[in-house]
């Protein structure tokens, strides 16, 4: 084939690639693919009072857990590292369940993304799943490990708060068909921000492109145009996340 023919073929192929729709970030973020409420939250008919109702807070600020999946040492240590990061900034403690422990979080590594139950349940074990990924990828980002444990402790996503419309615009035209329910807003009787205000940098915030059908933003920040870059960060808890956790569990102020 001569040079001119090769150039023509490459040009046609490149034009075809540019014509393809952008891939939604939903397909690459395992927090959004688990198929539960808002992607990763496993709720029952009564848990929607999770943040305000103290019945959903872990007794004695202690979360018991059991490794149901036999993770290799590196993955197990990474999960424990996420627990330690929460312990270091709060009065929350994680303890491994014994055979006599009746209420605990069952930590699994099944396929299907990252997910967890929300708040303490008074009956049976609770779900906490991290699909296996290399360390610091997918469900094994430290921020994601912490994100799911904050659900276990009783927190909803940041963009679900009652006053969210003052801070973000949900662009429904960019939301993938059938996924709009994931942007539900809860009233102030259901969730409490503990007077911490809206936090774009919360580890519990969706990314600006969550459930996008076309690669365009589904959550548009209204107060700070630069906030889109930090929304959805999965590095660790923001100071506001730390404050909320300590206020929710009445942790003593550290000096």
Enter the tokens of residue 79.
């999960």
State both tokens at 62.
């202690």
* Cβ-proximal residues to 185 (8 Å cutoff; 6+ apart), any chain: 160, 161, 162, 164, 165
Phi/psi at 96 (5° precision): -70, 135
User: What distance in Å separates the CA atoms of residue 54 and residue 247, rounded to the nearest whole number?
Assistant: 12
Name which of 172, 157, 164 is nearest 216 in CA terms: 172
pTM of the model: 0.82
Question: Two tokens at 165?
Answer: 């419309």
Q: What is the pLDDT of residue 141?
A: 96
The residue behind tokens 């930590």 is 107
Q: What is the pLDDT of residue 41?
A: 59
| pLDDT confidence of residue 36 | 53
Contacting residues for 72 by C-beta, under 8 A, at least 6 apart: none
Give per-10-residue mean pLDDT for the chain (255 aa).
Answer: 41 32 50 61 43 80 95 97 98 96 95 92 89 96 97 92 94 94 82 85 95 96 94 96 94 73
Residue 196: per-residue pLDDT = 87
Could you tell me which residues are beta bridge partners of residue 168? Answer: 221
Please tell me the distance from the alpha carbon of residue 147 to that of residue 141, in angstroms, as a whole number.
10
**How far does CA 197 lie from the centroid of its chain?**
19
Q: State residue 116 phi and psi, 5-degree precision.
A: -160, 155
Which candidate, 143, 145, 146, places its Cα nearest to that of 75? Answer: 145
Name beta bridge partners: 169: 220
- State the catalytic residues: 148
Q: What CA–CA distance (Å, rounded) separates 118 from 48?
A: 9
């Amino acid at each position: 084939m001569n040079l001119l023919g090769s150039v023509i073929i490459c040009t046609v192929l490149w034009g075809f690639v540019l014509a393809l729709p952008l891939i939604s970030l939903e397909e690459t973020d395992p927090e959004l693919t688990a198929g539960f409420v808002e992607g990763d939250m496993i709720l029952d008919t009564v848990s929607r009072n999770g943040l305000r109702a103290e019945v959903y807070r872990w007794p004695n600020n202690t979360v018991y857990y059991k490794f149901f999946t036999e993770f290799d040492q590196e993955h197990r240590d990474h999960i424990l590292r996420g627990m330690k990061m929460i312990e270091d900034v709060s009065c929350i403690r994680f303890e491994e369940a014994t055979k006599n422990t009746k209420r605990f979080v069952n930590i699994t590594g099944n396929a299907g993304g990252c997910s967890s139950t929300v708040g303490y349940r008074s009956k049976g074990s609770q779900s906490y799943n991290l699909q296996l990924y290399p360390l610091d990828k997918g469900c094994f980002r430290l921020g994601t490990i912490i994100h799911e444990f904050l659900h276990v402790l009783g927190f909803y996503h940041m963009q679900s708060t009652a006053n969210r419309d003052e801070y973000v615009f949900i662009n429904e035209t960019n939301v993938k068909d059938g996924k709009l329910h994931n942007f539900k807003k809860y009233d102030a009787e259901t969730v409490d921000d503990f007077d911490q205000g809206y936090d774009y940098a919360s580890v519990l915030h969706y990314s600006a492109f969550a459930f996008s059908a076309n690669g365009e933003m589904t959550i548009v920040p209204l107060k700070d145009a630069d906030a889109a870059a930090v929304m959805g960060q999965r590095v660790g808890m923001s100071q506001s996340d730390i404050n909320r956790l300590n206020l929710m569990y009445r942790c003593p102020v550290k000096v």
